[in-house]
Amino acid sequence: MSFKLQVEELQAWYDDQQVLKGINLSVRANSITAVIGPSGCGKSTFIRCLNRMHEVVPGARVAGRVCIDEVNIYNGISPVEVRRRVGMVFQSPNIFPNMSILHNVVAGLSLNGVRNKKLLEEKAEYCLKQVGLWEEVKDRLHGAAGGLSSGQLQRVCIARALAVEPEVLLMDEPCSALDPIASIRIEELMRELKEKYTIVLVTHNMQQAARVSDYTAFLCQGELIEYGSTPEVFIRPRDRRTENYITGRGDSVAV
């Protein structure tokens, strides 16, 4: 199995505060990689560096390399192109509440200049079917998206990310605002999507990480403490800090 993403000596700052300290890892294609760790350890910053969203924050900067298929996204590639190849789904559904469901799904395509109505409708249908939402919304595509449930809204956001045909999908705690039933549906969807996409998932939910991910990276205080297959990390962690965090015993910072 080949590597889709390769991260080398990745460092990140907000002004003078360093939040990532030399992260090195490779993400396998068509897999789900969970990024876990205590609050403030740099998880969200890490995945925002993977599609160059970190640099849009005033005072933020990045050093190191992030490669997609061995091409460094920080060297000669526009951020717009990077974000087309590497989509992101956020913690809370960031929909346009007064815009129709259809136009929410194809918003990225419209911003990129696609105007063909038939093409947009076909793409919306295809993506909504990918996320298992088509049957639920096909009769209300032109209604405002604000009337959907939280779980449905999150799937609309995933459909929108897929509409621009990314290669990698970043998911930053996509289930944190959802009820257990909606969360399970998103987890099932992630397993289905990894057949076509490479997924990097930030989660605070250890059970979720264990259920859906193939690989797990444990971050603490901006450092990568441990990275390996999820069964290895959860059952036979090599570092005491990893074990402490996963089991909830003691301080994960303590050795």
Q: Going from the first residue of the chain to its last (255 residues), give the mean pLDDT of each consecutive group of 10, the final group possibly shorter.
A: 93 96 97 96 96 93 95 92 93 88 92 86 94 94 91 94 94 91 92 96 96 97 97 96 88 48
26 by Cβ neighbours in 10 Å (0-12 / 13-18 / 19+) ranks as middle
The residue written with tokens 């970043």 in the block is 170
Q: Which of 174, 21, 205, 181 is nearest to 92 (CA)?
A: 174
List the domains of the chain with CATH numbers. Answer: 3-247 (3.40.50.300)
46 Cβ contact partners less than 8 Å away, ≥ 6 residues apart? 10, 12, 20, 23, 35, 202, 219
Predicted TM-score (pTM) of the model is 0.92
Q: What pLDDT shows up at residue 21?
A: 97
